């Protein structure tokens, strides 16, 4: 969808709207039926049961790409002089493995592969932000108009799943669920309850400790719930800001030749800088995941 076809405001809104599939609400001409929303208002009215098809498509596609690529290289791996692809992937695996060894103090063979999966998957998801903002949405609009008779202005297709809070919250909640699982498994119900009620304030005086228990519980529960919230919002906020800057730069191409040339240099400069951002955000998400797993393995004495 080009900037010329829409006003600046509509152009920005169009690029920030997900391709939403859900149940049309009462009062709609297709009430009770399931279909694709043709506007932001329709998407909002579909409620919690709606699915962002573009987020799901790219998340799954990039996850499959990661598995296929690493599996292919692993099958062709040799003990001799490695090829370029094997050397690159071995470098990533060794980097993640050394990071996990230096951060995770427990014993669980799943943590390093999980860290590798999180890092590469989030990196690939973030990397989609480097694709020019109009290319894939324009292609989606053409497909919608050519094969489904849709108005291209009503075909929405975001390509960066990490700019959708549903995706980042979903990933962070999965990490949070694993953290709770291992906390209960390693510490037991009693140990985990003690951790939530006996820290950070403690006293040898029984009466005073009784007073501290509800205070500790409130503080620890808030700190616990803040983990998935901060994990998801950090990734979402940084990637959403990056996407917005690319969209604003793209608007310059419709403002004349001089603005378009200047916008081209801005886009190149921001894309180069953004490579650092997408890598850093993938690393931070992976690192915090490993740290949270380590917290789940820490006993009351280490906590």
Of 108, 166, 234, 254, which one is the catalytic site residue?
234
Residue 234 is among the residues annotated as catalytic for this protein:
yes
Q: Tell me, yes or no, if 230 is annotated catalytic.
A: yes
CA distances to 115, 178, 292 from 173, rounded to whole Å, are 16, 9, 12
Reading the block at residue 66, the tokens are 């990661």
> Rounded distance, CA 235 to CA 213, Å?
34
CB atoms within 10 A of CB 67: 13
Q: What is the dihedral of CA 223, 225, 226, 232, to 10 degrees?
A: 150
Q: 76 CB contacts (<8 Å, ≥6 apart)? A: 83, 86
Q: How far apart are the first and last CA of the chain?
A: 52
State the catalytic residue, choosing from 146, 202, 203, 230. Answer: 230
Give the C-alpha separation, 130 to 275, whole Å.
Answer: 8
Tell me the helix, strand and coil percentages in the chain, rounded to 5: 75, 5, 20
Is 205 a residue of the active site? no
In this structure, the number of other CB atoms found within 10 A of the CB of residue 11 comes to 22
Task: Record the tokens describing residue 297, joined without a space.
Answer: 């393995």
Buried b or exposed e, range 224-258, using 16+ CB within 10 angstroms: beebbeebbebbbebbbebbebbbbbbebbbeeee
For residues 135 and 44, give the distance between their C-alpha atoms in angstroms, rounded to a whole number: 26
Catalytic residues, by residue number, are 230, 234, 238
């Amino acid at each position: 969808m080009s900037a010329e076809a829409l006003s600046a405001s509509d152009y920005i809104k169009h690029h920030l709207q997900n391709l939403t599939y859900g149940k049309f609400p009462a009062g709609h001409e297709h009430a009770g039926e399931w279909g694709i929303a043709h506007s932001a208002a329709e998407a909002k009215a579909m409620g919690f049961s709606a699915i962002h098809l573009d987020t799901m498509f790219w998340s799954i596609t990039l996850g499959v790409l990661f598995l296929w690529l690493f599996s292919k290289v692993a099958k062709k791996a040799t003990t001799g002089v490695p090829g370029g692809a094997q050397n690159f992937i071995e470098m990533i695996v060794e980097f993640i493995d050394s990071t996990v060894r230096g951060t995770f103090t427990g014993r669980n063979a799943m943590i390093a592969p999980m860290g590798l999966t999180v890092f590469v998957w989030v990196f690939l998801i973030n990397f989609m932000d480097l694709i020019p903002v109009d290319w894939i949405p324009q292609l989606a609009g053409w497909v919608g108009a050519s094969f489904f008779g849709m108005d291209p202005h009503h075909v929405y297709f975001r390509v960066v799943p990490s700019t959708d809070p549903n995706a980042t919250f979903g990933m962070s909640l999965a990490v949070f669920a694993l953290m709770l699982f291992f906390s209960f498994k390693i510490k037991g119900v009693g140990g985990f309850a003690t951790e939530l009620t006996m820290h950070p304030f403690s006293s040898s005086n029984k009466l005073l400790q009784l007073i501290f228990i509800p205070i500790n519980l409130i503080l620890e529960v808030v700190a616990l719930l803040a983990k998935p919230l901060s994990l998801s919002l950090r990734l979402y906020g940084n990637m959403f800001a990056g996407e917005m800057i690319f969209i604003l730069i793209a608007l310059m191409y419709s403002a004349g030749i001089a603005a378009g040339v200047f916008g081209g240099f801005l886009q190149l400069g921001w894309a180069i800088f953004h490579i650092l951002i997408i890598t850093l955000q993938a690393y931070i998400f992976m690192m915090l995941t490993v740290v949270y797993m380590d917290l789940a393995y820490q006993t009351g004495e280490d906590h």
